Amino acid sequence: MKWYSVLAIYLLFWTVTLFVVLPWGIRTGEEAGDTHVPGQEVGAPHRPSMWKRVLWTTIISTIFFGLFYANWIYGWIDRADLEHMYERIYGI
């Protein structure tokens, strides 16, 4: 696999993981006990902590990408395995 393909696939893993990690532990200002500021969205996060979310996203996506890449190199699960699994699940 070429280096730019590896980079593109890693960025896909990272982006999807970011959207999974974003809602973890988010509390609104109301839930945190703050008063509502006029003009502020009611569902706006109290403290988004984006750097912490970026760190978690990087750790999780690196682990999953590492498993994906290792599978690409060593061929633990290939297309035939997936087709066999699909046949067993759906009885086709």
Q: Is 64 in contact with 21 (CB distance < 8 Å)?
A: no
Output the average pLDDT for the chain.
90
Read off the pLDDT of residues 33-67 as tens digits, 9 standing for 90 and up. Answer: 888 778 888 878 888 889 999 999 999 999 999 99
pLDDT of residue 6: 96
Looking at residue 40, what DSSP letter applies? S
User: 3-state class of 89 per DSSP?
Assistant: helix
50-74 and 3-21 helices cross at what angle (nearest 10)?
A: 140
Maximum Cα interatomic distance, the chain, rounded to a whole number of Å: 58
pLDDT of residue 53: 94
User: Which residue segment(s) compose the domain that 85 sits in?
Assistant: 3-90
